[in-house]
Amino acid sequence: MPVTPPDPSAETLVADLVADLVAEVPELAEYVRAAVLLRPAAGSPGVRDSSVGGPLLWPAGEPWPLCPHPHMARVRKRLTDEEREALERMGRARRERRRSGRRPPMPPEEAETPDRILDGASSLDMTTWERVRWVADTGGPDVPMVPVAQLHARDVPGLPRPDGADVLQVLWCPNDHSGLPGQPHYSGPAVELRYRAAAAVDAVADPPRPHRALDLCLPSSCTVDPVRVADLPSTDDLPAALAERARAWAAARGVDHHRLACRSGWKVGGRPSRHLTGRVRVDRPSCGAGTRLLLTVGSSHGGPDVTVGRFGELRVFTCAADASHPVRLDIQ
C-alpha cells in the first residue's frame, strides 16, 4: 500500500491554532510539552541515520539482545457439536425476538450459555467455531529483538539521553507478551532501549533474524522527517474550568479540541493520548520518581506498517529522574 505523506498544510494549521489558543488562554502554557513528530516514510536509511525500522549502529563485538520472556501464543480448540448447536439456537431465538418486537427477559439458561461455552477463553471464533486462548509459550530458544527506531540527538531536538550519549536505539521482541516484569497492565511487545555515542562505534554488526515473529510487529525500513511541535494535553488532564475554556475556544473556530491535543503517530516526547481508556495510571519506577513519555509508536498502513493493540499506539515511558531505570509500557 502506498505511503500517505504528511500534509504540511494540515500540520501548519494545527500548529497555528495551538499557538493562538495558548496566546489567548495563557494558563495553558504550563501544560504544553514539546514533542517531535518523526513522520516516517518508506526509504533506505543507513546505519548512521535516524530511522524507523532501519539498520542500527550496533558495535560488532556487542551481543545482540535476545528476549528472555515467555511469549503469548494462541491455542484453539473446536467446539463440540452440542456447544455449537446451543449457540446457534440462542442466535435464532434472539433474531426471532427482534423480528417480533418483543423484549421479554432473556432466559437464565440462554444468558449463561456463552460464558459456559467460552470456559475462560479470551474469544470465540464464530467462523471456525473454536475457542481461542492466549497461553504463555516458553518453548524454543530466545528470540532476537528487532530494530524499531534509531534516533540521533542532532535530528531530534531535546532527545532525552544520558550524558555522553547522542543516539537512542529502540528494539522490541516482535511477539505478544503478558505479565512482563514491572508491566502489570500491559500486553504487547517487550521493549528494550540502548543509548550510545555514535563516534565510539566503528565496525557494525548485522542483526540476527527472529525465528518467530508477528508480521505486524516487524517495522519496514523508513527514513524520518522530524518536526518539533507544541503538544497540548487532552481536556481530561486539565483542571475542569481550564478544560472548558479550551473546548469553547476550539468550538468557536469549528475545531474539536481533541484535534489540537496529544498529537498522534510516531513521536518523541509530548503528551500521551487516553482516547480508549480515559486516564490510566502508568506505574511509577521503583525509585518512586515520576515518568515522562519518551516515544509513541503509532499503528500504520504503509510506512513502518506495524500494528500494536487494536490498531492503537504503544507508548514508552522512562523514569523522569534516571533514564537508565526500566521503562514502563502502555498501549491505547
182 in the same domain as 34: yes
Domain boundary, last residue among 95, 115, 137: 137
Share the mean pLDDT of the chain: 87
pTM, rounded to two decimals: 0.80
pLDDT tens profile 206-241: 889 998 899 999 999 999 999 999 999 999 999 999
Could you tell me the pLDDT band of residue 284, with boundaries at 50, 70 and 90?
low
Q: Contact 170/295 with Cβ under 8 angstroms?
A: yes
Mean pLDDT, range 149-170, rounded to an integer: 95
260 and 313 assigned to the same domain: yes
- Non-local (6+) Cβ contacts of 105 within 8 A are none
CATH number of the domain bearing residue 294: 2.30.320
In a domain, 285, yes or no: yes
Considering the domain architecture, whether residues 163 and 29 belong to the same structural domain is answered as yes
Residues 310 and 207 in one domain: yes
Cα–Cα distance measured from residue 170 to residue 312, given in angstroms and rounded to the nearest whole number: 18
Q: Whats the size of the chain, residue-wise?
A: 332
Q: Please tell me whether residues 324 and 204 are part of one structural domain.
A: yes
Please state the φ and ψ torsions of residue 217, each to the nearest 5 degrees: -110, 15
Q: Which of 97, 113, 137 is the last residue of a domain?
A: 137
1 domain residue, yes or no: no
Pair (145, 132) in one structural domain: no
Number of domains in the chain: 2
Kindly report the number of other CB atoms within 10 A of residue 266's CB atom: 25
In a domain, 3, yes or no: no
- Domain of 22 in residue numbering reads as 8-70+139-331
Same domain flag for 49 and 87: no
Phi–psi pair at 36, nearest 5 degrees: -120, 115
In three-state secondary structure terms, 164 is coil
At 3, is the pLDDT very low, low, confident or very high (cuts 50, 70, 90)?
Answer: very low
